[in-house]
Structure 1
Amino acid sequence: MKAQSQLNLPTIILGIFAALVLLIGLNSFIIINPGQAGVLSILGKARDGALLEGLHFKPPLVSNVDVYDVTVQKFEVPAQSSTKDLQDLSASFAINFRLDPLQVVKIRREQGTLQNIVSKVIAPQTQEAFKIAAARRTVEEAITKREELKDDFDLALGERLDKYGILVLDTSVVDLAFSPEFARAVEEKQIAEQQAQRAVYVAREAEQQALAEVNRAKGKAEAQRLLAETLKAQGGNLVLQKEAIEAWRLGGAQMPKVLVMGGNSQNNVPFLFNLGDLSDSELPQPVAKR
């Protein structure tokens, strides 16, 4: 029994040694996948040179590798500022960025984790960049020239984050808000503009109506002139005849069944009456022959 234990002891030791070698061997290499970059630290000190995608050796037991995601990241960051005319302006920006793979060692030494990068670098620098962009224009210009505001913001933010190893790919203004006082002022201005436009419309409409009245008056005067010339050529009594007929038409009387003219139709006013309005007793009676 004792001899068997002595025979198994070398086997056990060999097995333990093989396991240790295998464990050390497995911990001596690391694979960096596409979209990642690593920082090698030996005994707590970061080594220069980023570990890019591929297989890399690292000293076993005394080293550690911090892996960073260098693909595109997106965070939404709020910001507040005052405009050139001292109006409060707030915005929310969606920022697309990624870490520079060649500067992850610097990022590891200065910032640490991605959460620290967002909270300690991106958020405050976004605030400062927005202050620079907003201070160059009034609040009304910030709203009406939103693209120019965004361009100034992108330029300021890109310059500030580049020195931290952060590459800004794109930004977008998610929300842009101003103070309630300015909102009321804008509403009042819009109402005043609408009222002014309404006044211009009413004035133009009145002008068109007046012009139409002038044209109608001119047309009526011309018609009267032509009528006067015609009547003058045929005698003045025709004027009275025309006026009598016009008065009959405007009065709404029924069409007369009898129109009596004088012997000289050119000089007498027509006499109009309706036979239907007369009773039988009023009609002329035939005289019997003897």
Structure 2
Amino acid sequence: MFGRYLWARPYRIVVLVLLSWLNPFVVINAGHRGVITTFGKVNQTVLEEGLHFRIPIMQQVREINVQIQKAEGDGDAASRDLQQVHTKIALNYHLIPTRVAETFQLVGDLNSVGDRIIVPAVQEAFKATTAKYTAEELISKRPEVRDQISQFMKDRLLRHGIAIDEFSIVNFRFSESFNQAIEGKTTADQLKLKAERDLERIKVEAEQKIASAKAEAEALRLQKQEITPD
């Protein structure tokens, strides 16, 4: 019996070494999900946080980050009145946890998502939306423009298993000639408004003078009536 125990010890060591080498257990960290591939084929079952078992050699597990990510992209497009417009768009997004296997299969890892999906989507959304507005409307209707670009982005990214958490347009930038034209128009509008106010003031002053003259004339007439003998 003691001899069999001595023979069993090497087998146990071999088993432990094999388990260590084959590594059948995998841990998915907080804020991540696991994507299983069996001989390279993606399994649509997503592993949540915690300890999981995999079939050694046959299966590999890719850990995918589903935490909120920040991205910024530049947009260049033409407005409806053919003015060149540049902007910077910032957004926070995350991979939808239940769809990470689909996203990984179609797009790749998180870096691929940024390069292949986010950046092109920013350009497409900006171009499609700015084409509906004149340059002045892009300024005066900025909240409406932002909401349209945001909705376009949400619809586009959702197809790839990506959700937007926050979205903002940092700024609109136009050509120098357009900026000068806007400044000229603003100055002209201000001068026009001043002229209209001056005209209104002159009219009021003239009416006041007329009213004052009429009052003086009426007072003189009454005085004459008082001193004229019957």
Structure 1 contact 24–60 (Cα < 8 Å) conserved: no
Determine which of 94, 106, 115 is the counterpart of 1:110. 106
TM-score by length of 1: 0.70
Structure 1 contact 84–138 (Cα < 8 Å) conserved: yes
| Aligned 1:73-92 pairs, distance under 5 A | 73-92=69-88
Output the CA distance in 2 between the equivalents of 1:34 and 1:88: 45
Output the CA distance in 1 between the equivalents of 2:114 and 2:42: 21
- Whether 2:181 is the aligned partner of 1:185: answer yes
- Larger RCO, structure (CA 8 Å, separation 6 or more): 2
Which structure 2 segments of 5+ residues have no match? Answer: 1-5
Output the CA distance in 2 between the equivalents of 1:199 and 1:102: 65
Q: Secondary structure at the match of 1:208?
A: helix
Tell me how far 1:16 sits from its aligned partner: 4.8
Q: Secondary structure at the match of 1:192?
A: helix
C-alpha deviations, 1:177-205, integer Å up to 9, x for none?
22222211111111111111111111111
C-alpha deviations, 1:12-43, integer Å up to 9, x for none?
95685264045147x21122234211112344
Q: Partner amino acid for 1:58?
A: R
Structure 1 contact 103–165 (Cα < 8 Å) conserved: yes
Which structure 1 segments of 5+ residues have no match? Answer: 1-8, 235-290
- Whether 2:23 is the aligned partner of 1:23: answer no
Q: Secondary structure at the match of 2:62?
A: strand
Q: Who is 1:122 aligned against?
A: 118
Determine which of 46, 49, 63 is the counterpart of 1:50. 46
Q: Who is 2:3 aligned against?
A: none
Q: Which runs of 4+ in 1 moved over 6 A?
A: 9-12
- Whether 2:159 is the aligned partner of 1:155: answer no
Moved more, 56-65 or 90-99: 56-65
Q: Who is 1:170 aligned against?
A: 166
TM-score by length of 2: 0.86
Determine which of 136, 139, 145 is the counterpart of 1:140. 136
Output the CA distance in 2 between the equivalents of 1:32 and 1:11: 34
Q: Who is 1:41 aligned against?
A: 37
Output the CA distance in 1 between the equivalents of 2:229 and 2:64: 110
- Whether 2:185 is the aligned partner of 1:210: answer no
Higher strand share: 2
- Bigger Rg over Cα: 1
Output the CA distance in 2 between the equivalents of 1:163 and 1:206: 64
Output the CA distance in 2 between the equivalents of 1:53 and 1:205: 75
